[in-house]
Structure formats: structure tokens, C-alpha cells
Homo-oligomer: A and B are copies of this chain.
């Protein structure tokens, strides 16, 4: 393997694939990045066996070949490179990569490319294309509701339901739920119902930031996100996503229209006293608006927020983090908070946007 590359491209490809690595993998080769060069292209691959990221850039190839280079060293080294052309070479079948820059050189022991596991992905069954900006927005609106609890893997993923050109993403950790609908550029051949790992979608948001369009391809057990130079492939989470429709309330006793900014700022201040464990705030609807309050041994806070309130008034205990997560994912100026009772789920929707909703299950008051 021998090729030359400029610093900017070198840093770009490494940064794009780097996060897919499992730094503490028991398989040493997985702590590395697979370098493959040939036909004027350098292709880098990193994987944790669940997800892989592949990124390609044009380079001057003097000698095609491949090698796995430890990610930790090569990524830190790339950041520190001087701004000059870099030449990377492995001599014969050796596993030593030599990087030359000016009069200096860096030599790093790698692993054989033949030991690197590649995800085998079957033919895609259905593809659609979405702008990277829209995809980022869609993901951001549901990803916060994903569970971190690996003991119930299905909740660590996001349900993707497709029927015709209508697509829906749903995430829930059983305490709250977020749902976002969007329209595809091509109809699906049948009903599609898959669960995409939350980790994969986070990586998609990070890597796809600068590209124009993202092509999404679904196959039986995999999902693939492609831009011009980068491909993220991930296993889907097996199992059945729980039926979520009955969780979404439909009839309301109270509808509140309030500024997202004001409610978020108030909730943020109240969170200060809300404790670390369950972070509860008391949310009260009244004729003139909303009152948020918290009492703790250290003091108390009362936030009066102007709002349009229609219907019955309720006192509800919310986990303030859940409330803030929803508010942070809204771009609009106003949000509707729709209540059905003190202990029944609340529905939150941006005012004037039917494509997005969030459900928060209230907490039960502890006996004092």
C-alpha cells in the first residue's frame, strides 16, 4: 500500500469513521481503522460489528493495498500533522504503516486487513432519499425519547414505519414517547416496520451534517445511509416494537397554548431545585396561565408563565427533563400542552404542526 494525501482530506476521512470504533473491543483489530487504497481512491472503514462507517476520498495511489491502523494513534496523529502532503506506505506484506511528512516519519504497527470483519449486507429491498437537513430534524425530534437501558434492547431503538409514501418514526422509553411523521419521495412496495438502533441515528446526524441528500436503503436486517462519500450500515434491532397508538391520548379536558421559549426557560430554572433522581416539578394550569413550582429542603421556586388555557385545570407532576427534552426539539414559537387528568398522559404538539407529537406520563406524587 502506498498513497499520498493532503492533510485536510486525511483528517476528514479519519474523523468521519472514527466514532464507529469500539475502543475497548476484545478483538484488537476492531480498535483499528481499515485503510484500503486503489483506483485513485482511499477507503476507510470502522465498525463495532453492529454498525459500520465507510468513507472514501480521492488520493494519489502509487501502490494499491490495505492495512488496519490503530484508530487511537492515527486519529490523534492526524490532528497534529503539519499542513503539507503526506505519504503513507506499507512495505511488502508488513503490518507497519510508515507516514512521511517533510523530513520526518511516523511508524505505527497495524493489523492485517484480512482479519478485519466486514458487515455482509444483503440486497436492499427499498430505498428513499431525504435531504440531510430534514433527516437531522426528524431524528432530533424522536432520539431523546430512546431508552438507554440495554436490558430491553427494543426500546433503545427507533421504530420506522412506512406505508406508501408515509413514514413515521417513534421512540419511547415507556415514560415518554416521541413521534414524527414525514413524506417519502417514493412509495414503499408494502408495509415496512423496522427498529433502528438509536446509536446509529446519532451517528447519522453527526456524519451526514454537510451532505446534500441522504439515500436510505432498507434490507431484511439492515439499514444503510449513503451520502456522496460516506456509507453508514447498521443492523436493525430484532423483535417487535410495542404497540404505541393506544398510548397517545385523543380527548382532552384542558388545552394550553404557551410560548416554547418561556416554558423552557421556566422549567430550566425550576430544574435547579428539582433534585437529581426523578427531577419532579409541579405543573399547574390556571385561568391566567401556567404555574410551575418546586419545593425542596434548600428553598422553593414559583414560575408564572403566561398561557392560553382552555378547559378544566389540573395539577400534574412532570419529570422536568422529559418536559425540557420536548421543548428543546421544537422550533416553532408555541406549543400545545393537552391534558386529560392528573395521572394520565399529557400530549405535547408544536402549534400548527401536526407531524410531530410527544407524550409524557406524569409521575405519581409520593406520600408526604
How far apart are A27's CB and chain B's nearest CB, in angstroms? Answer: 17
Contact A302 B80 (CB under 8 A): no
- Complex CA–CA separation, A299 to B273 (angstroms): 52
- Complex CA–CA separation, A272 to B72 (angstroms): 10
Q: Which of A86-94, A185-193, A263-271, A326-334 contacts B (4 or more CB under 8 A)?
A: A263-271
| Contact of A107 with B by CB under 8 A | yes
Contact A299 B269 (CB under 8 A): no
| Contact of A82 with B by CB under 8 A | yes
Contact A104 B268 (CB under 8 A): no
Q: A76-B272, A265-B82, A272-B73 are in contact. Are A102 and B301 (CB under 8 A)?
A: no
How far apart are A10's CB and chain B's nearest CB, in angstroms? Answer: 14
Contact A109 B304 (CB under 8 A): no
Interface positions, chain A 265-284, Cβ under 8 Å from B, are 265-266, 268-269, 272-273
Contact B299 A104 (CB under 8 A): no
- Complex CA–CA separation, A108 to B301 (angstroms): 8
Interface positions, chain A 8-36, Cβ under 8 Å from B, are none
Residues from chain B with a CB closer than 8 A to the CB of A96 are: 299
Contact B106 A299 (CB under 8 A): yes
Contact B268 A301 (CB under 8 A): no
| Contact of A300 with B by CB under 8 A | yes
Interface positions, chain A 47-92, Cβ under 8 Å from B, are 70, 73, 76-77, 80-82
Option from B73, B269, B302, B304 in Cβ contact (under 8 Å) with A298: B73
User: Chain A: residues with CB nearer than 8 A to chain B?
Assistant: 70, 73, 76-77, 80-82, 96, 102-109, 265-266, 268-269, 272-273, 297-304
